[in-house]
Amino acid sequence: MSYLLHIDSSSLGEASVSRKVALSFRAAWRGPVVHHDLAASPVPHITAAGVSARVTDPAQHTPEQAEAAKFQDDLIEEFLGARAYLFTVPLYNLSMPSVFKAWLDQIMIAGRTFAVANGAPTAGRPAVVISARGGGYGPGSPNEGKDYLVPTLETILGWDHMLGLDVTTLTPELTMAPDVPAMAELVPLHEKSLTAAHEHAGRLAEAIAGRAA
């Protein structure tokens, strides 16, 4: 069965703007969904056993290597089985939440998910990244050039030499404006950004579901 794989990584639960925009996507999605909340159930960080298992004959695996390899295999099979992807990855300290990086490190295996002779097995599949951020990082903003999340994710997820997904990124901005007095004048811009993100998420879900049907 083909499905949407939704990976959540915000620590804020129902208060998360990234998650709220993802709900707009999910509301318009037609089809089954496999959802993982990495904040509630974190994937462990990659270990020496997990790395070494990748280059060791399975017949020679230690118990620790065998366990780590089985864990990676399960995540990779789930990843490869999806027809589309939704990644909820807010900007934390200019980069991605560590739980999402841990998940990436578990599934990124040369010869299986990337650096495959005939191209990545997921090449061309649609993916949406929703990344809310407390400030503004667009062109002309004081923080321009300091977003190290979106460029990194778009490379890992979308570059032909890596996962090769067809990535669209939504970045609702200025999410701290309603709560920080010094940002009060930016509330209208935040609201405009948020509304646009919700609307775009719904349209993307409808388009992707129709395309992938």
Full-model pTM: 0.95
- Report pLDDT digits (tens) over 10-68: 999 999 999 999 999 999 999 999 999 999 999 999 999 999 999 999 999 999 999 99
Q: Give alpha helix (H) positions in the chain.
A: 17-28, 48-53, 63-80, 98-107, 150-158, 187-212
Q: Pull the structure tokens for residue 9.
A: 């990584």
Q: Pull the structure tokens for residue 86.
A: 């939704």
Q: Which residue has the tokens 């062109």?
A: 139
Strand order in the sheet with 33-37: 33-37, 4-8, 84-88, 126-130, 166-170
The rounded distance, in Å, linking the Cα atoms of 182 and 178 is 10
Tell me if residue 79 falls in helix, strand or coil.
helix
- Report pLDDT digits (tens) over 97-143: 999 999 999 999 999 999 998 899 999 999 999 999 999 998 989 89
Tell me if residue 43 falls in helix, strand or coil.
coil
- The answer to whether residues 172 and 138 touch, using CB atoms and an 8 Å cutoff, is no
Q: Give 88's DSSP letter.
A: E
Q: Please give the pLDDT value at position 2.
A: 87
Q: Please give the pLDDT value at position 213.
A: 58
Half-sphere exposure of 160 (CA within 13 A, CB side): 3
Distance set, CA 200 to CA 45, 84, 89, 138, 195 (Å): 33, 16, 17, 18, 9
- What's the chain's average pLDDT? 96
Q: Please give the pLDDT value at position 72.
A: 98
The rounded distance, in Å, linking the Cα atoms of 42 and 99 is 6
The rounded distance, in Å, linking the Cα atoms of 80 and 97 is 23
Which residue type occupies 201? A
What's the average model confidence in pLDDT over 182-209?
A: 97
CATH code that applies to domain 4-212 = 3.40.50.360
1 pLDDT more than 80: no
211 pLDDT more than 80: no
